[in-house]
A and B are shown apart, each in its own frame.
Chain A
Amino acid sequence: MAAPTVERVERLTNLLALLLETSQPLTLIEIAGALDGQYPDKEANRRAAFERDKAALRDIGVPIETEVMIAHHAGATGYWIDRDRYELADLELEPEERRALQVAVATIRPTAGQDALWKLGADALDAGSAPVTAFVPDVAGLPVLRDAAARRSTVTFRYRDKQRRLDPYGLLLRNGFWYAIGRDHDHDGSRTYRVDRIEGEVVAGPSGEFERPAGVDVAAAFPADPKLIGGDDPEAVARVLVDAPRAAQVERELGSSRVVARRAEGAIEVEVPCANEAAFRSWVLGLLDHAEVLAPPERRADVIAWLLATIDRPRPRAARTRKRRAS
């Protein structure tokens, strides 16, 4: 028996060539006739083999157009490929620009990165060559969301057991998570979704369904610092005493402008954003017994109450106040 893989590549290549060359949509009967002897004779087998080939071509990114025929093939489906949609336009990349993209892909090694580089004419990636790399989470919905944001197409997906319709304005990678930001149809307002929490597939509609409002700033959808999320007063700060062993690192993190007093033996007093009570408390407790909230009294009392509750569980439910980071 002949090697089936070899035959299949040949048939796929011929099918691709035929659909690219044809000047009018072709029915399966016409396709099988042109690729004489390459498809099974029996109708059901022929259809199954053709569907498999069509799926394989679409899988590698070939846009196959379909049309229901009229006149003498009335009712049958016709197939063809629009060469303008098939071909990658010449991007006119300079060699150094191509090289820069290659280095960038080596930095994060995304799944489809190598195939993309080959299409741009760049070399195979050199494994382990980049001195700086970044692990960027690979989440299934991302390519569709990016493409939909670029085409201004509305997407639908399930999130927390509800069907959502979103005009995606952009994607944001922050603190190791990807967020989709846009206008939610059902809330008629701006919403942020964690892409890895999307359940199942993201489905995109036709292009140009919405306009992105001018001045949308994806990075400003929510503050990078969780201590600033929520709360009535985004400017609110608490005064915290940090002991010498952690002072240098805290000063680096917050910046020297946040240091309001320097004590003997290296301890510092810093002003820390505290609009979000829970995030602020989490930050202070991360310093263990190397830090103490000095002011305002409510923040100090909150930390004391939290510590008491931690010692003496369970805490009365009424004492709970908490804000969510992102929907």
Chain B
Amino acid sequence: MTARRGRRSRRSAEERLRRLLVMLPWLMEQGETPLADVARHFDLTPEEITADLELASMCGLPPFVDEMIDVFIDDDVVFVGIPRLFTRPLRLTAPEGFALVAAGRVAMQLPGADPAGALGRGLQKLAAALGEDAVVVDLPRGPGLDETLAELTAAVRRIEQVDIRYWTASRDEVTDRTITPRRIFSDHGDWYVAADDQRSGERRTFRVDRIEALTATGRFDEPEEPGGTAEGPDWFADGGLPQVTLRLQPPARWVVERYPVDDVTSDEHGVTTATFPVASQPWLERMLLRLGPDAVVVAPAARATLAATAAARVLARYEGA
């Protein structure tokens, strides 16, 4: 959502009409409403609300020109009479319907969601307007994962520090650390927690399924400064990372969709050349072993033998047995 502050761009006619069509029925139901409340509810400035309502009051059709919508503002309070039109909001569009259903289904998958609760009942009522569909959301769940997520969510709410035992994929090692969980999010089938890492003093992102043990400490931190940036899907984008360029046969192309990629080209034989930011050497080793003979490192030359070296290391286990 655009923040109210800093929005300077001119609102289009469609956008103003769309807002007016939800504002009028709402105002009618509210009765007299302070202008500031209307502005807050619709994420607009009082000036924008005033301009839109004044315009609405001028709309009309013969023989009732200028009196179709009975609205006026006096002493910063909005008054609306019962109009003949615009008493109900416009029906939900397909994108709006999808947004509500998808959001509802995701929320029902979060730890602790109650199908018989308010959200479940609300979604059932929505089905009356939107039709029964089958939108199924399958977020990663499991007894261990659910428990960790529930504990992390509680820690975010209480702003409590927790001790965790965590497997760091980039170094392939398990470490103990203390974190203050700030936000939990799911992305591409995995759960993450963004937290203040007490050891480094920095904000770090941890994958929840890699937390092997978690203990609450009973120590509490301060709330975050308001306006802190929400972790977005680009949270792992980092221009400072080294890169690797791979030539991928068709069976290996899936990595382009699975991992952040800086550049992709495909030739007419279905061979793809893609450049990836390299999170760490173990990460690249895992990826190259999975792709096996279907991937070749094009650049840098120093990484050309990485797959063979890693494969030989794993193979040694089998040959030694």
Binary contact track B101-121/A, C-beta < 8 Å → 1, others 0: 111111100100000011101
The interface bits of chain A over 305-317 (1 if a CB of B lies within 8 angstroms of the residue's CB, else 0) are 0111111111100
Chain B, residue nearest A106 (CB): B103
On whether the beta carbons of A288 and B289 are closer than 8 Å, the reply is yes
If the complex has contacts A173-B136, A288-B289, A292-B317, are A101 and B61 also in contact, measured as CB distance less than 8 A? no
| Binary per-residue interface labels of chain B (73-94) against chain A in the complex, 1 for a CB within 8 Å, 0 otherwise | 0000000000011101111111
Cβ of B267 within 8 Å of any chain A Cβ, yes or no, is no
Check if B301 is an interface residue, CB within 8 A of chain A.
Answer: no
CA gap between A309 and B95 in the complex, in Å: 48
Query: Which residues of chain B are near A249, meaning CB under 8 Å?
Result: 167, 209-210, 212
CA distance A59 to B90 in the complex (A): 12
Contact flag A176-B99 (CB < 8 Å), given A131-B156, A245-B173, A286-B286 = no
A318 within 8 A of B: no
* Residues in chain B near residue A248, CB distance under 8 A: 165, 167, 174, 212-213
Which A residues are in CB contact (< 8 Å) with B203?
none
Cβ-defined contact, B307 with A310, below 8 A: yes
- Residue A66 at the chain B interface, CB threshold 8 Å: no
B298 CB-CB contact with A under 8 Å = no
Are B145 and A170 in contact, with the CB atoms below 8 A?
Answer: no
Stretch in A111-119, A229-237, A269-277 with 4+ CB within 8 Å of B: A111-119
Q: Which B residue sits closest to A300, measured CB to CB? A: B318
Verify if B100 is at the interface (C-beta below 8 Å from A): yes
B125/A93 in contact, CB under 8 A: yes
Given that A5-B12, A13-B56, A288-B286 are contacting pairs, would A104 and B185 also be in contact in the complex, using a CB cutoff of 8 Å?
Answer: no
Judge if B221 is at the interface, Cβ distance under 8 Å: no
Flag if B126 contacts A91 (CB, 8 Å).
yes
B residues 1-56 with Cβ under 8 Å of A? 1, 3, 10, 12-14, 16-22, 26, 29, 40-43, 52, 55-56
Q: Does A199 contact B (CB under 8 A)?
A: no
Which residue from B135, B188, B290, B315 sits with its C-beta under 8 Å from A175?
Answer: B188
Inter-subunit contact A107/B132 (CB<8 Å): no
How many of A's residues come within 8 Å of B, CB to CB?
120
A254-293: which have CB < 8 Å to B?
A: 255, 278, 281-282, 285-286, 288-290, 292
* A6 interfacial contact with B, CB 8 Å: yes
Query: A89-141: which have CB < 8 Å to B?
Result: 89-94, 96-101, 103-105, 107-121, 123-125, 127-128, 131-136
Our pick among B13, B251, B293 for the contact of A12 (Cβ within 8 Å) is B13
Q: Quick one: which of B211-260 are within 8 Å of A by CB?
A: 212-213, 227-228, 230, 232-233, 251, 254
A125 to nearest B CB, angstroms? Answer: 6
Cβ of A28 within 8 Å of any chain B Cβ, yes or no, is no
Across the interface, B129 reaches (CB within 8 A) one of A85, A86, A89, namely: A89
Give chain A residues whose Cβ lies under 8 Å from the Cβ of B173: 245
**A49 interface hit (Cβ, 8 Å):** no
Residue from A85, A245, A253, A308 in contact with B174 in the complex, judged by beta carbons closer than 8 Å: A245
* CB–CB A90/B88 < 8 A: yes
Contact, CB under 8 Å: A309 / B292 = yes
Whole-angstrom distance between the Cβ of B254 and the nearest chain A Cβ: 8
Contacting pair B314 A10 (CB below 8 A): no
The distance in angstroms between the C-alpha atoms of A101 and B88, with both chains bound, is: 19
- Sampled A-B contacts (26; CB under 8 Å): A9-B20, A9-B55, A34-B61, A90-B88, A97-B119, A101-B119, A105-B103, A107-B110, A112-B99, A131-B156, A133-B184, A143-B97, A150-B133, A170-B133, A170-B135, A171-B134, A175-B188, A175-B189, A176-B188, A245-B167, A245-B173, A285-B286, A285-B314, A288-B310, A310-B311, A313-B296
Chain B interface residues toward A at CB < 8 A: 1, 3, 10, 12-14, 16-22, 26, 29, 40-43, 52, 55-56, 58-62, 68, 84-86, 88-107, 110, 117-119, 121-123, 125-126, 128-139, 142-145, 153, 156-157, 165, 167, 172-174, 183-189, 209-210, 212-213, 227-228, 230, 232-233, 251, 254, 282, 285-286, 288-290, 292-293, 296, 307-308, 310-318, 321
Which residues of A line the B interface, CB within 8 A? 5-6, 8-10, 12-14, 16-18, 20-21, 34-36, 56, 59-63, 85-94, 96-101, 103-105, 107-121, 123-125, 127-128, 131-136, 142-144, 146-147, 149-151, 169-176, 212, 216, 218-219, 224, 245-246, 248-249, 252-253, 255, 278, 281-282, 285-286, 288-290, 292, 300, 303-304, 306-315, 320, 322, 325
